Amino acid sequence: MPKLDRPPLPLTVEHDTPMPMRDGTVLRGDVYRPASGGPFPTLLVRSPYGEGSLRGTPKIPALEAGFAVVLQHCRGRGSSDGEFRPWLDEGPDGYDTIAWITAQPWSNGEVVAAGMSYLAGCALQAAATRPPGLKAVFASMTPHDFHDGLKYHGGAFSLGSALNWGSLQAMLGLMHGAAAGEDVAAGFGTVLPLIADPAGAARTLPLRDIPGIPWWEEWISHPTRDAYWEGLAETLRHDRIEVPVMHVAGWFDLFLAGTLENRRRLGGPLIIGPWSHGPGASGTGAVNFGFAASAQAAQLEGRQLAFLRGADTGPAVRIFVMGDDVWRDEEEWPLARAVETRYYLRAGGLLSPEPPGPAEDPATFVFDPRDPVPTVGGPLLLADPTNVGPQDQREVERRPDVLCFTTPVLAADVEVTGPLRVTLRAATSAVSTDWTAKLVDVRPGGRAMSVIDGIVPNRTEPGRAAEFVIDLVATSQVFKAGHRIRVEISSSNFPRFDRNPGTGRTSADSTEDEMVVQHQTVFPGSFVTLPIVPR
């Protein structure tokens, strides 16, 4: 019988250790370190979600790798004092926390920072302040900007994720206040209905009337990138980040564009798996990609620790190629060998690399924002955790306000890997509208599985044709022989995005009665640009 010769690793654990910030606010966290030896480099993780969110941090592997580990609550969250202000304090608080760590007798003066989503943002914002002692950052699934790709996507308000995350943070704030002895009963009475009925909350009009979320008014009052968002952008200055950064993304993560942009600006290793918001699972949405797709099979944790130790020897880019369902190492992103290929949206619902003829008629549909196209799958962070990733679109495609353009059955595999976009020549009868696009893998038997989607709002002269570019971000999808490639076009994806009333005003200030029916025309010459990799 095999026997493992593993001596115990005695640990010293300090719970709720106080760490004073420069303004006198005391933040608290847990400190784990070997009971003997040292001094040690330190892994820092900062979270605004309370103690439960920190349980998944790989403490034991990090301790075994020779790190001390500090898990700290952001101000106004968990056991830390102060008021939580999204994104505003994470840079200076991260700097002060790193200074505190490096001053401890058990520290060797070196700190690395890691996290996912907001936690990764904390690490990058701290890095932008250039704290002495910070050596590396591991950033998973986090935006590059607080306007573009976080609260707005292509200019449309990311209603579903803003409502879900805002409600959660409002609830955490109330719980923090209750722990401090404050009377928060009225606040609970306001926020609990948002959490109990998110679908009903999303249909609130004007959107400005949604109560209980402290920052809601700020988010919806600044639909364009103005001084408000520019001020927040100053807290994440990529040009000030000097330490190496490793990036992890998911093909179905709502921050895929942000992670890719972080990597473009900062460099460093890049891993993209077939995951939604949270790396690890072998299945996403309605598709099981097999055990090989899991973070465990990809040995993501081991590579993370190797990178933070300065010992990473992995490839520059590792992507999971869906359809083939395999990991593939690359030297670059995007792939230089990918060939941008236009597939045209043709009359009769045909999608073809051949351009349309001069006599082809445009496609039309009628969109009523009172009955928006429902969100079914995609890169989401909604209250329903099952409505995410690739999902069957057949029910959506039966709607008269969804246009479908489909290739004939493919005779050979077609690999689409890289950034992609839809260029739409279109017109609307309204003062304003949204244009949405979705790439779909149609399987034998008819299952129409979503791959990626996007949106672009516009305001043009009614009836005037114009060109609109819908960013679909990126994917790596092999459309197998026997499958078909499909592009869906419509004017809503709700509640992922808010509804466009068609009046030139936003849903923040519109009522249901003010919304107008929009008559839409999509002209021949519209196309999707697919980065096709020769096989």
Q: Per the residue annotation, which of 30, 148, 253, 312 is the catalytic one?
A: 253
- The answer to whether residue 117 is catalytic is yes
Helix, strand, coil in percent for the chain, rounding step 5: 25, 35, 45
Question: Which among 147, 176, 277, 483 is annotated as catalytic?
Answer: 277
E strands, 35-176, where?
A: 40-47, 68-73, 107-116, 134-140, 152-153, 156-157
Q: What CA–CA distances, in Å, run from 385 to 220, 278, 284?
A: 24, 11, 10
Alpha helices of 468-524 — where are they, by DSSP H? none
Show Cβ contacts of residue 472 under 8 Å, excluding neighbours closer than 6 positions: 419, 420, 421, 422, 437, 439, 452, 453, 454, 528
For the four alpha carbons of 422, 496, 164 and 219, in that order, the dihedral sign comes to: positive
Question: Domains in the chain and their CATH numbers?
Answer: 11-147+233-330 (3.40.50.1820), 152-230 (1.10.3020.10), 339-533 (2.60.120.260)
Catalytic residue among 117, 161, 282, 492: 117
Taking the complete model, does pTM exceed 0.75, yes or no?
yes
Contact, 88 vs 234, CB < 8 A? no
Span between the terminal Cα atoms of the chain, in Å: 48
The C-alpha atoms of residue 117 and residue 387 are separated, in whole angstroms, by 19
253 is catalytic: yes
Determine whether 144 is an active site residue.
Answer: no
Residues in the chain: 535
Q: What are phi and psi of 217, to 5 degrees?
A: -60, -40
Tens digit of pLDDT at every position of the chain (535 positions) = 888 888 899 999 999 999 999 999 999 999 999 999 999 999 999 999 998 888 878 899 999 999 999 999 999 999 999 999 999 999 999 999 999 999 999 999 999 999 999 999 999 999 999 999 999 999 999 999 999 999 999 999 999 999 999 999 999 999 999 999 999 999 999 999 999 999 999 999 999 999 999 999 999 999 999 999 999 999 999 999 999 999 999 999 999 999 999 999 999 999 999 999 987 778 899 999 999 999 988 899 999 999 999 999 999 999 999 999 999 999 999 999 999 999 999 999 999 999 999 889 999 999 999 999 999 999 998 888 889 999 999 999 999 999 999 999 999 999 999 999 999 999 999 999 999 999 999 999 999 999 999 999 998 899 999 999 999 999 999 999 999 999 999 999 999 999 999 999 999 999 999 999 999 999 999 999 999 999 9
